[in-house]
Amino acid sequence: MLFEIFPISGPILIKPARIGDARGWFSETFRTDRFRENAGPVDFVQHNQSMSAAKGTVRGLHFQLEPMAQGKLVRCLKGGILDVAVDIRRSSPTFGQHVSAELTADNGHQLWVPPGFAHGFVTLTENTEVFYLVTAYYSPAHDRGLLWNDPALGIDWGIGDEEAQLSDKDRKQPLLADLPDLFD
């Protein structure tokens, strides 16, 4: 299992090894000891799974406020996604910057998105299934978002605004400039 660090402090790309033969493959996808060595003391409390029928489905950018801020360990079980994490820690030197990684069922990669980051993804295939572990329970009172296509973020989603399949909630999220000071 390889842990790759990004130029932005916090997110980690995890590449589990796969051992294969004629029958298929086996992969150790999570180990608490290895994860904590690389990401710190993290406890997961909830497992989530989503299925997106259409290619070009955008989910995000989402986060939760303290004290219910969530860290997320994301992987793709079927199909593929471009997974994105945006630094929304106002006091961070990388505030407003993002990292992205292609997570597919074929590559088995995972993205650790710590608290203090807005998270979202776009599906690269039809019938995409995403599974993620979170460090805090979902709380509607703490649920917030950031506009996925805010020009200030400079995210290349690989699709245009007219192609994106979005929820009404995600179409109405605020711009980065309109967020209050968070995660200081």
What is the set of domains in the chain, with CATH numbers?
Answer: 2-19+40-168 (2.60.120.10)
Burial zone of 74 (CB within 10 Å; 0-12 exposed, 13-18 middle, 19+ buried):
buried
**pLDDT at 184 (0 to 100):** 72
Residue 38: Cβ-neighbour burial (10 angstroms; 0-12, 13-18, 19+): middle
Is residue 109 part of the annotated active site? The answer reads no
Active-site option among 98, 109, 119, 132: 132
Report pTM.
Answer: 0.95
Tally Cβ neighbours within 10 Å of residue 98. Answer: 21
- Is residue 98 flagged as an active site residue? no
Average pLDDT over residues 132-157: 98
Rounded to an integer, what distance in angstroms lies between the CA atom of residue 50 and that of residue 74?
Answer: 11
Options 47, 62, 98, 109, the catalytic residue: 62
- Binning pLDDT at 50, 70 and 90, where does residue 182 land? confident
